[in-house]
A and B are shown apart, each in its own frame.
Chain A
């Protein structure tokens, strides 16, 4: 069974990587950003499978982005691999601290606590003028093991990098979802009490999910800031987190690729509605979201899974 998964992953990598040749510059940037945000959303999906939704995933998106920026500005680090490792390690540590604490909360309490944590970070960063305050900081373009590309080469390299991370992370998460732990998560969604009686620790599973989501959030934030070249406290603001939740809902919890497709669709729709309806782009975006929610209550993933005979 597993070799089929690896085959899919290889195909996904080839198809996505082909984008670096086919796509025009602006679309390649848009895809890279969408995939980076998709990583964060994948973390939310991991939690959603257990029936909880984090409204504060911007916390890790922001920590990842600021870690990379500060490491680059203070120590002159520019290697993308080092920066990614560093910020995901920081997010791992923060996740390990908060994960076990939050793992006992469900529903609105979990959502509000995660939201509160991210807003605390937002408030703190906005007041710290040494870190640029609400205006934020800039970060120089990354290097790749000593190679410092410019222009289209830089965009291509970044894009291939994010595609590679997305495919690896997506594959690993799929393996995790299908593992014993992952299936316990899914069972928790249906009946937490029964899972506990069967002898599994729901709290442990929830903590693991939260920590994985934290690392994914950090990865997404790092790639996003390297592509953008700028970070500000908005990364931790609740609207940013809300957008991630929206993508997760749009994708549904059944399929991993659906998360990235949903992220790309949202970016494309926003980009074009912003240009063609400059005065009413929020309205057109909202109508699009409503249509999707009404017609596909279980998310895009349900389209794929239905065809596969309900395989999760």
Chain B
């Protein structure tokens, strides 16, 4: 009885393995496994825009001369870029399994992915076990490299601490008076961490400000009637929120309908990505960030990266009919970083396709330019990036029918990111020692 069952299972797997075929590693192609949300709440906000941006950039890189220097060489050092896509929905258990499948079954040369912080914590130990070069491109939790040490894992985006430090700095630089403030954040790790970072930064920059209330509605709640009532009753001068996606859209629409945005200043740590959906429903005068100089803040920046930014911006708008928000920018900075690392590794090994160890050596401490600014792998022994950040104020341009970001303040990477060896929370609590602000 048992025997029959087991043989059945074995043959089923054998069949499946046969169907899959084995993707033999080829010398003239570089295969990336891309993992991002294709379904669920984070798909519309982050996953799909990031994947769209990634596909676009990979096509442009494969074409060869579609990008300004130094990215005008074909693919990665002449190698054609291929990719397979995996949906990040389904939880960390599934992601660890899929990671193993990508590395061991699909034999990808690099894994690039993960929006969810839970996945970013679960995957690195496996990446090190399998000695597989892995880039975390989006997730925010500082715990990845503060609690652990990983050789084969890199994060090409700054962790979420700078989002809330920048908000507090922005308030100060605009001379905004904050006698009282309140928070509305999603009840899960990102929301809880964001609120903790924001209150800690406010304690440093606005020591006299009083916290009126801290609300943590359920993740995915969608309805904020009671919370908005509480905020209207408490009358804080400022309402902080790290909500994103549908939760942020719901909150903004319900808050403006009841005039909360007129009574309190809304500050959003990651709010830019709902602008394309809300358009003029997005209230004017909100202070918002994009977790980096991304989206409208990058477009408004100009400077020496203008050509690169505009090339990507125009290509994205032409392809998808909407302007790029933060997610594609983070995907781009990961891909530009990967390209730089591969080409550096090839320069070091005489032009062969680099293996995982050579990629690790090239990526450590790397610096490169992306539409979101100059990225430096400055933390966690060269494994964690820091990047500049920007905060701006929303202003609807009725003539052009477009949302604009005005009064944008740009913060140097070292102004809002902790120095090497200091944990983010400690750095804030100590009053930002060694911060290099212009």
Contacts and interface: CB of A to CB of B under 8 A. Distances in A.
Interface of A: 8-9, 11-12, 15-16, 19, 22-27, 29-31, 33, 126-127, 129, 132-136, 138, 140-141, 150-151, 154, 170, 224, 228-230, 232, 234-235, 237, 240, 255-258, 260-261, 264-265, 267-268, 270-272, 274-275, 278-279, 281-282, 300, 304, 308
B9 interface: yes
Nearest to A279: B38
Nearest to A129: B192
A136 B121 contact: yes
Contact of A134 (B9, B17, B97, B189): B189
Given A8-B3, A232-B91, A232-B118, 18 more contacts: A8-B1, A16-B6, A26-B100, A26-B104, A27-B13, A30-B101, A132-B143, A134-B118, A135-B189, A138-B148, A151-B129, A230-B93, A234-B91, A257-B5, A272-B19, A274-B87, A275-B86, A278-B38
Interface residues of B, number: 53
Contact of A230 (B13, B85, B96): B96
Q: Is the interface of B mostly helix, strand, loop or mixed?
A: helix
B87 A138 contact: no
A151 B128 CA distance: 10
29 contacts: A8-B1, A11-B2, A12-B2, A15-B3, A15-B6, A22-B10, A126-B187, A126-B188, A127-B187, A129-B189, A133-B189, A136-B92, A140-B125, A228-B96, A230-B121, A234-B92, A234-B93, A234-B118, A256-B2, A261-B6, A264-B12, A265-B9, A268-B12, A271-B98, A272-B19, A272-B20, A274-B98, A279-B38, A304-B4
Interface string B131-143: 0000000000101
A22 B126 CA distance: 22
Contacts of B90: 274
A261 B5 contact: yes
Interface of B: 1-10, 12-13, 16-17, 19-20, 38-39, 84-87, 89-94, 96-98, 100-101, 103-106, 117-118, 121-122, 125-126, 129, 141, 143, 147-148, 187-189, 192, 219
Contacts of A129: 189, 192
B270 to A, nearest CB: 17
A136 B122 contact: yes
Contacts of B192: 129, 133
B92 A232 contact: yes
In the complex, the 5 A-B pairs of residues with the closest C-beta atoms, listed nearest first? A230-B122, A257-B5, A12-B2, A26-B104, A134-B188
Q: Which of B20, B100, B148 has the most CB of A within 10 A?
A: B100
Contact of B97 (A29, A151, A278): A29
A267 B100 CA distance: 13
Contacts of B16: 268, 272
Contacts of A234: 91-93, 118
A255 B5 contact: yes
Contacts of A282: 39, 89
A15 B2 CA distance: 10
Nearest to B90: A274
A172 B162 CA distance: 55
Q: Which of B2, B39, B129, B188 has the most CB of A within 10 A?
A: B2
